[in-house]
Structure 1
Amino acid sequence: MEFREKLLKFKFHIVFAFVFSLLTVALVTYSPGFLTVLSYFWPLFLSTALFLAAVFFFVRTSDLPTSSTVSGDGSGFKVAAEGILDYVVGGQHEDSLFDSFTKLD
């Protein structure tokens, strides 16, 4: 009876180990092979590698700002970021967009 009590004490561990073993065997048995996955995703892998190579090339060949152009408090980067945001927004205001939708009636 002592053995049965110990076995019941670990019944959740045994069930978890059994289910985990079955899932592992099913995954290994029914999953596609490495070459199948590689042959399906090779355009994505190639384009990502080319993009990273282009980024690496441009980082290596572009001129980085010198310490004289960038202040220590980072205000130069803040001004550059505000300029980019102003360019992206392009001077469109919410009022003009709202007016264009209300004139559709």
Structure 2
Amino acid sequence: MANSKRTLFLKRRMRVRNKLRKMNAGRLRLSVHRSSKNISAQLIDDVKGVTLASASSLEKELGIVGKNNVEAAAKVGAKIAERAKAAGIENVYFDRGGFLFHGKVKALAEAAREGGLKF
């Protein structure tokens, strides 16, 4: 019996996350979620179970509400980097979840790197 797309996505997400946790113990996680209409990023402290900063394409101040393209992802990446700097965060690890590192996810990561985050 063939696996569904959702099952394969969940397996890929857990495989990526578990490998990253082993390699980057003690660092904060930059988690990305992409839907068909929006993209968001969060800085998460897994030890405390707290989200320290977040950015989303749903925020009106970014001026990209209703858009889900590479440019919107880059703006979200730049905003999360700005908020991380304000919180005093510099080193994180990038958790792409079950999404491929291509297109919008890649644009978000590159914009966050340009904004000063190291991963």
Length-normalised TM-score, structure 1:
0.25
Q: Is the radius of gyration larger for structure 1 or structure 2?
A: 1
Q: Indicate the structure with greater strand content.
A: 2
Higher RCO structure, 1 or 2 (CA under 8 Å, sep 6+): 2
Length-normalised TM-score, structure 2:
0.23
